[in-house]
Amino acid sequence: MATVLVVEDDPFVRSALIRHLSGAGHAVRSVGTALEALREVAQVGCDVVILDLGLPDLDGSEALKMIRGLTDVPVIISTARDDESEIIRLLNAGADDYLVKPFSGEHLSARMAAVLRRSGAAPGTGQHLQVGGIRIDLQRRQVVLDGTELDLTRREFDLLAFLAARPGVVVSRRELLAEVWRQPYGTDQTIDVHLSWLRRKLGETASKPRYLHTVRGVGVRLDPPAAEPPAGEHAP
């Protein structure tokens, strides 16, 4: 299965794509703006990008050019524009394929498979995340901390993987609810409880964090622990 980046600002379309692709066994990340897409491609990587053209901050065709300046990852354009000259222009600008909205999940899956075959991409090359001593296998849904495999629940794994895909980035609770819990709203207590369980399994506490850092009033970020001084020395 592939690691897919969905770039779509419409929450309903975005949710439908995530649901179908996840149900097909793919590891899915999603963003709603071109700038977020560029950050994901540059910092994390993926096997294929599904790129909407009608983005709020930058036209998708411009985003395509910028993605091509960073990587050769296959890009499938998702568009409501069915003008032939526009489609030809996008293909010439570096798109690997296109789909005109509305389209079915099965149609998307077939186009993805064809694009990956043509590109020679090996799904799974973007299936591992590493932050400090944490190594995450997205395909097998396994987490190893300093050589020891952790026993995580499905939600704990999803939460950790989402944060690990954005190391050093403060993620808001609202975004966690939308992307991990797939809920438009909820209580902070839901997230806090899962963070507490996850911290325990990572061998840390909220008062003495190693990886999971709460930014009060903003959200949570995952960072590798600071280097510890050698025995007998003290940190400055």
> Do 160 and 200 contact (CB within 8 A), yes or no?
no
Who wins on pLDDT, 197 or 233? 197
What does the pLDDT average to over 146-172? Answer: 87
Say if residue 235's pLDDT is above 60: no
> Which stretch of 59-68, 121-130, 154-163 has the lowest confidence by average pLDDT?
121-130
Give the integer Cα–Cα distance in Å for 133 and 148: 10
Handedness of CA 142, 202, 148, 144 (dihedral sign): positive
Alpha carbon 142 to chain centroid distance?
17
Phi, psi of 74 (to 5 degrees): -60, 135
Give bridge partners of residue 214 from the DSSP assignment: 220
3-119 and 151-222, same CATH topology: no
Give the integer Cα–Cα distance in Å for 180 and 160: 10
Residue 217 neighbours by CB distance under 10 Å:
7
Who wins on pLDDT, 88 or 223? 223
Residue in the structure block whose two tokens are 């403060």 = 170
The tens digit of pLDDT for each residue in 29-81 reads: 899 999 989 888 887 778 899 999 888 988 878 888 888 888 878 899 988 77
- Domain locations in the chain as residue ranges: 3-119, 151-222
Phi, psi of 150 (to 5 degrees): -95, 145
pLDDT of residue 25: 79
Who wins on pLDDT, 25 or 75? 75
Angle at 157 between CA 120 and CA 39, to 5 degrees: 55
**Residue 230: which pLDDT band, with cuts at 50, 70 and 90?**
very low
Who wins on pLDDT, 147 or 228? 147
151-222 CATH fold = Arc Repressor Mutant, subunit A (1.10.10)
What DSSP character marks residue 151? -
**Residue 122: which pLDDT band, with cuts at 50, 70 and 90?**
very low
Give the integer Cα–Cα distance in Å for 125 and 100: 28
Class of domain 3-119: alpha beta
pLDDT of residue 229: 44
Give the integer Cα–Cα distance in Å for 206 and 214: 8
